Amino acid sequence: MSGQVLRRTYIRRFLGLKRYSRIVAWSIVSAYVGLIFAAILLGSHLLSLPLSAWTVAAMAATATFIGTRLRGINNIVHECSHATFAEQRRDNVTIGRFCTAILMKSFRKYRDDHLSHHANNGDYENDAEFGLIEKFGLHDPISPRTVVRHLIVPLTGRHLPLYTSINLSAEDGRLFLGMRLLLLALMAVYLFFAPLAALIFVILPWFYVYPTLNFWTDCLDHAGLVGAEDELEASRNVLAPAIVRLLFFPRNDSYHLVHHLFPQIPARHLHTAHQELSRDPSYRRVPSAVRANDRQTVERALDASS
């Protein structure tokens, strides 16, 4: 069964899944923003403590955590681009613009580029997202050499020009341009009065940790699969332990194959959709969809119930 046939088989089951109300949606965004500010304050406190291996490790973990929460905000933008985060389409646009302002991006450009990625996944000429990163060779077959190459790229900084650009256009409206400018001004003030804290807990997470997580996530989602003819084999799920997914794949970002097959599913339901799809042999047989031990568990359960 191809991805198109699988979609036709299940699409009605996944229609109408509940999105967040306006209050809940903004509460989730506020929680991410609050965690970022709390982590910056924690980092500043750590700098006031006597230097030791423990404080250095705690500061590194804090800077990384801030990057993961920025990644979570990015994932909310992603949901808003599909209008699957909030119940009202207008709320998705407003929240998307707000969150992209935090990330120094434009929601309008992100949405246009991302939707072109879904329409032309792996077609470098028409996929506006992947066309920019063709030089990183995500189309190359997976091998120890390519894995090492993808791991090393962030150490060279080659990904930064494409993953850290600051958009100062007014295409999302002057309000959100003003928000980006205000945030940049606050960063500059913080850098002036507390340079070390600003470098470690603002500049590093915003302009290195977060874009590096984005690059590695692109690799995990598509490396070695770009150009696959069947969309069932053109992306993968990353079924890591729950704590790893919660930290590094916020908002169910690990179910990328499910998302590509059914982009209308709100992220909160991707896990449930994956579990239902795992009962289908054509989905379960794909290595990039289900882990081997999970596949065996599902098959044993199905045998026992038949």
Task: Read off the pLDDT of residues 205-243 as tens digits, 9 standing for 90 and up.
Answer: 999 999 999 999 999 999 999 988 888 989 999 998 989
In whole angstroms, what is the distance from residue 126 CA to residue 119 CA?
A: 9
Tokens 């970002």 correspond to what residue? 253
Three-class SS of residue 255?
strand
Residues near 75 by Cβ (< 8 Å), separated by ≥ 6? 250, 251, 253, 267
Q: Can you give the residue ranges of every domain in the chain?
A: 1-17+229-306, 19-227
In whole angstroms, what is the distance from residue 19 CA to residue 76 CA?
A: 12
Task: Read off the pLDDT of residues 68-125 as tens digits, 9 standing for 90 and up.
Answer: 999 999 999 999 999 999 999 999 999 999 999 999 999 999 999 999 999 998 889 9
Residues near 282 by Cβ (< 8 Å), separated by ≥ 6? 1, 5, 6, 232
Q: What is the pLDDT of residue 3?
A: 84
Residue type, 198: A
What rounded mean pLDDT belongs to the chain? 93
Task: Measure the N-to-C terminal CA separation of the chain; round to a whole number of Å.
Answer: 22
In whole angstroms, what is the distance from residue 289 CA to residue 3 CA?
A: 12
Q: Which of 64, 96, 294 is nearest to 201 (CA)?
A: 64
Tokens 């993961």 correspond to what residue? 68
Tokens 């998705």 correspond to what residue? 92
Q: What is the pLDDT of residue 227?
A: 84
Q: What is the pLDDT of residue 268?
A: 96
In whole angstroms, what is the distance from residue 226 CA to residue 61 CA?
A: 32
Q: What is the pLDDT of residue 276?
A: 94
pLDDT of 298 higher than 70 = no
Q: What is the pTM of this model?
A: 0.94
79 close to 251: Cβ distance less than 8 angstroms: yes
299 close to 283: Cβ distance less than 8 angstroms: no
Q: Which of 47, 28, 19 is nearest to 250 (CA)?
A: 28
Q: What is the pLDDT of residue 25?
A: 98
